[in-house]
Amino acid sequence: MRFQTPLEPATLLRRYKRFLADIRLADGREAVAHCANPGSMMGLAEAGMRIWVEPNDDPKKKLKYGWRLVEHGAGQFSGVDTSVANRVVKAALETGEIGGLDYVQLRPEVKYGEKSRVDFLLQGGARDIYLEVKSVTLMRQAGLAEFPDSVTARGLKHLQELAAMVAQGHRAVLFFLVQRTDAQAVTVAKDIDPAYAAGLRAAMAAGVEALAYDCRIDPQGIALKGPLALQL
């Protein structure tokens, strides 16, 4: 997935109200950028960080910049736009880059469970596959990405609904997309959300599968890279 508009470097001044960030552009001008991330962004929203933003000239948008990346130095990046995750996974599914999934048709945002929508329903194989994508950006230990970065009642509900699909004879897959270039493995942040950790154990015991992949990330775009080890 390539960014529609070339990104510009900036310095983060502060993130506030979850979806807003004050930034300083390379020419010294200050602006407000949209932050498409409802999580805590732990470790990714410190004042002074070098970030990359996407400008837009859409008169319908109040904010003229969207925050897309954090640069960690030494060529390492994190993607902070959680909406990117589904687009990256969809592109990889359409080109068959994700192994172990038998399907012919891909349907996004299909209603299921209790007033929910699964990210992707894969059909045409031996069994329907319900695939839920989670964007992972937290890292507190070098090389080890963690999910979630804040308590997620919605994520727990998804686990329970995926387990229900397995009980009905379908496959269910939880897909951790790590939007970082410095991760070697993925684990669950049990101290941040013990209920989610317990829910994941229960879901996997019920037959829900888990996959983890990282990304290639740079100011030109984000794309699926390859599988990561799961330490669950």
Q: Are residues 120 and 65 in the same domain?
A: no
Task: Tell me, yes or no, whether 1 lies in a domain.
Answer: no
- The residue behind tokens 């390859």 is 226
Q: Are residues 145 and 64 in the same domain?
A: no
How many domains does the chain contain in total?
2
At position 154, the amino acid (one-letter code) is: R
Q: Are residues 185 and 112 in the same domain?
A: yes
Task: Tell me, yes or no, whether 2 lies in a domain.
Answer: no
Can you give the pLDDT at residue 210?
98
Q: Are residues 102 and 162 in the same domain?
A: yes
Task: Tell me, yes or no, whether 3 lies in a domain.
Answer: no
Last residue of a domain, one of 47, 79, 111: 79
Q: Are residues 50 and 89 in the same domain?
A: no
Last residue of a domain, one of 58, 79, 100: 79
pLDDT digits (tens, 9 = 90+) for 115-150: 899 999 999 999 999 999 999 999 999 999 999 999
pLDDT digits (tens, 9 = 90+) for 200-218: 999 999 999 999 999 999 9
Q: Is the dihedral of CA 106, 107, 109, 113 positive or negative?
A: negative
Can you give the pLDDT at residue 58?
81
Distance CA 100, CA 77 (A): 28
Q: Are residues 89 and 73 in the same domain?
A: no
Task: Tell me, yes or no, whether 91 lies in a domain.
Answer: yes
CATH number of the domain within which 166 lies: 3.40.1350.60
160 sits in the region (left: phi over 0; alpha: psi -120 to 50; else beta) called alpha
pLDDT digits (tens, 9 = 90+) for 67-98: 999 999 899 999 999 999 999 999 999 999 99
Does the pTM exceed 0.85? yes
Closest CA to 147 of 174, 173, 165: 174
- Beta 144-147 vs 185-188: how paired, if at all? parallel
Provide the residue range defining the domain that includes 157. 83-231
Q: Are residues 149 and 199 in the same domain?
A: yes
pLDDT digits (tens, 9 = 90+) for 160-191: 999 999 999 999 999 999 999 999 999 999 99
Task: Tell me, yes or no, whether 128 lies in a domain.
Answer: yes
